[in-house]
Structure 1
Amino acid sequence: MFKKRPNIKPLAPLKSSDRRRTADQIIDAFGIEVPKDETPASEDNTAASTAALTSLRRSLLPENSLSARFTTTAGPDLKQVSGTVYVGSYEGEQRILWVKVADTMYPTVYTLWSNPRILPLLYTPLAVVEKLQGGADLMTPGLQRGPPFPKKATKGAVVAIASLEAPTVPMAVGTCEIDVSALEKVQGVKGHAVQTFHWAGDEIWSWSNTGTPGIEPPELIEGWDEKEETDAALSSQTEDLDITDQEGGVNLNAGPSERSVAEKVQGLEGEDPPSNKDFIDEVEDKELTSKEIDEAFKNAFLYGVRHHMDQNRDHPTYGLDFPLSQSNVMSLLVQPFLPTYTPARTASLQIKKSSWKNIKKFVKYLDKQHIAKCKDRDGNEVVILDIDFSDRQVEAFVPYRLPKKDGQSSTGPGGKPAAALSSEHSVRQNLKLVSLLRPKEKMAPILNAAKKDPRGLYTPAELKQVLIAYVEAENLVNEKNKRLIKLNPQLTDALFGNSAADNAAISAGSVTRDSLSERIVSASSPFHAILRNDESISESRPKAGAPPKVQITLETRSGNKTVTKISGLEAYYVAPQPLADELRKTCAGSTSVDRLNGSSPKNPVMEVMVQGPQKDAVIKALEKRGVNKSWVEVIDKTKGKKKG
């Protein structure tokens, strides 16, 4: 369903009461059992039961979750579909955890990887799973490891699908179109078994508020696989499998699905998630050992601490709001600083592959190292109460080169790696905006005569000097009035058209020097370059068009609430997430970062949103980052509205 990227509106915090109510609805809808204490009832046991329910709610829908409405198209007729996405974090950055369409809640693979057995699990060969990941449905002959099938896999039930080769890792979510639990055989039975809703690799999986790609599936998840089958049995089942069906669905030899064809015809075909191909050449692409993974996570944490110390020198806690939750430790201090240079290293650098296995134990390790002071909270997670910024390991840490993050454009302004937006903080940077011109093709004779590159880039002053050199070389200065320039065929063809004013000037045979200078500027195509710190024009990569503006938009939402949106930051080397973090503190309001509607998934433009009319605070924060006020455009959509 999510082969095409959905249009997701700005996220809003989920109230605690709404989060608990939604979690309870999920528990009831899927019949999830709350862990119970079998000992006789007592006050302690009642408290334990309440704690178990609270823990289950948090596991399904973590605290600080967000929600937003979305719209997309589905099916061969591209039917409009709308619903709600729920965003949260288990151990890393925020991801979409649940999708609600009509009255049905669908968990994403991220939720399934952290919550075993909340759905009935069906199995099919890996080759079929790969077809499901292209948007196909699961046919009845493709079902394996049964009958019998899970009792809860009835018609209309939401189910998970895993491959026989990785039976503990759900890779897709869908809805049963038949009563799978009642099937007595699958061979020779035709028809759809499961309509695929979401899969690892679609646009829901690849979404993140930072633009980074989706998280690769784990190799093994304890708790999902309750059956043990020998390799021979699995091989035998696969050999006997007939997964072709004339009604559509998964057919290993089939062409594109009807939905794919419809999307192509209407220009709506979804784009593949971007892949990280810009690796550092000297790094060997290999799997890391557990010791190397541990060292990488520790160094990433130290890097994150040093980064915040450098970026927020005047803040008493260097911009960190204690206590830090496990998810904040991962998203703020670890994940952005991991040395994920190659695909193999990226696959290795997962907390579950470290010796700690989870972020909770990693935080406790930092406490034992006396780098941080932590404390158990609610018996479910560990929070960092403080960091020893003067610790010897922090002071002695030497930053390393950070890799380019996927999901960002390969180059930023001036042709620099986009990693500069995250690894080089923008506070106190010096920016210079240079306007350039490229002469149009009809001006080539003038440039050639002046011995200049016809396809070169020039500032307006340089281009005027080219004109002066040409005029003097051709002896076109009027002897009686040096302000007048005589027109020759080359100047006429290059700089004059057929308007009445142009015809009058041609008839007169001469124009003023200033007028001719303005014409050569207006007859050239505009380019611009944004130079950072000591960068020169020769080191930059100028871009076509007029210089972009950082856009600040004030809008009224939810009745009379005002929000401030900021976009166009990337062109000025300003990273959206750190700016959002600063505005959250200075404006004392919630902030969010999301992809700007209409921007390319491969080269996303991010939009920062902060609660309240915060134009002045935003401009002040931008000026700290070298952005001149004249480069900012303010659009106030809250004015001019009649009050009813």
Structure 2
Amino acid sequence: MFKKPLADLKTSAPLRSSDRRKLRQRVLQSYLALPPEEGDGLVPDGLQSQKFSTHLDDPGVVYLSPEGDPLWFTVGKGSEELIPTGKLQFSTFMYTLWKRPDLLPFLSTPAPVVPKLIGGADLMIPGDQLVSITQYHRDALGPPLAVGRMAVSSDTLRESEEVDVKGKAVFVLHTWKDALWDMGPSKKADPPAPRPIQVSSETEESAQPSGNTDTQEGTNTGENVPESVPDDGGNELSTAADGAAAPEGNGASTATLTPEDVSHCLRDALLQAIGMSLADVPPSTFPISASTFWSSYVLPARPAQALGAYGLTDASAIDVKHSTFKNVKSFLKASAKEGLLKLKETKGDVVVTAVYPQHPAVAGKRPHRTIGDIEAKAKKAEDREQKEKEAEEKRKGEIHVAELWKPFGTTVPLFVAAEKDTSELYTIADIKNIVNGYISARGLINANDQQYINVGTDQALANAVSIKGEDTPEFMKRDDVLKRVRANMQTWHEIRVEGRDTVRKKGEVKPISVLVKIRQGRKACTLVTGYEPFGLQADDLAEELRKVCASSTSVSPLHGKPNALEVMVQGKQIKAVTDLLIARGMPKKWIQCEDQSEQKKKK
């Protein structure tokens, strides 16, 4: 859940005393094994709260120690469940998750699996119990390295020693070294050493390695080692979970999805659709054909958690043909008999004429994350990625033009006095900062009117703003000072295009000219000049304009400038030429258009 940086991290705020007391009570109620006197240690004074969103857009709240380490967190809209982090041990109080490894029931996993958990994998073998995950050590209890929610019941875990049960065991919420861990100042701390434990001979016998296991990626991770796991009642369970691995076999494995399981998932989807999507639709929405009702409402509402619970890579297995009903019509008829909806049969088919959101099964249904949500998010991410790729491709061909100035003549003493390099090229923003800093450092702001600068009292500044043949005034507005300084500097320009060498030349850069003229009496033509400094070629432009405009084009030397070429295209083609230049990466600012044919008509 926190394998990537948090998407939207708000500013932390101190927790009020009343809220801290409520949080303390919630901790003690959630973890009944804790004596009341330990509440202040786990919810210390000075606690802070901070809202966040994960990279999957799940909202949450994290509670931070006074030092800034995350101690508890909740995930999910409106969630009240407090989940301990691995950093409880860094609070200034003695009771912590690493110091109190019995705070949660735990599962053990071999060392090679731990990096996979930190990388975002879930623990494989389908429960709702919060558990910690430790590294397996013979005759020792390792520190918790991950916190998650059980995907299977404790009975299923017991059965996994004797029956080939496959799929996920734990949905991992938080791990050592993930983005949540890295929030606090103690992020570089290493886990404590394993604690020796006493085990009975019977437990030792059950803890022997029992074969090899494979990860979801199909790579062998080592031995499949059962470890005792206390359940809610303090009993000990045994599991063979080894991280992102199934108990036996090669390659990715999944739990068996029975027709009854599929029917249960589809009924959950129907309840969700009725309670969420269809509850507020206008009556005119009905009747809805069975196929539309199924594809637009039921299928998108299938529970997303079923994918993880059964190790499915897609939702195709959760389909009515794999259920006990075998077809949509039978499923809808059974749902109508239950009172969830109303059907009408027409020409051998059925249509849905009404749904009943007030039905107890719908009203009591807890909303779940749907496959439709996942698909919509995936589509959104795909569209965003596509747009980013298109923008990246566009940026690669963009022509970046920068106007630069170099200290020259009367402005050199000013830059020397300001301790700036007189051989450097400066942007307009650089010049503004240098001049403003110089004015402030020497106290040249007029005391009577602060928009004026006392130019006459500083020789370097007076020289920098002087104009030949004119007297330099004693006072000048700040904007006028900046304009004059820039006017007395030497003009340069820089043109950058990705994949090509940067061009820096002395002189002012001029925009590309796109000019419409009347030639040979009444024929209009469009002339393009001044494109060479931007790396554009005459022959390429002429060929592309010939195709785009479906007109004849030509290239000829520009009159009076033998080293420059003029591209001519027949007709009034200002828009076509402009669009082509912009597509080639030319900023619109550097395209100057003029239609002299219209001016001639007016005359």
TM-score range, shorter chain: 0.3 to 0.5
Length-normalised TM-score, structure 2: 0.35
Q: Rg bigger for which structure?
A: 2
Structure number with greater CO (CA < 8 Å, separation at least 6) is 1
More strand by share: 2
Length-normalised TM-score, structure 1: 0.33
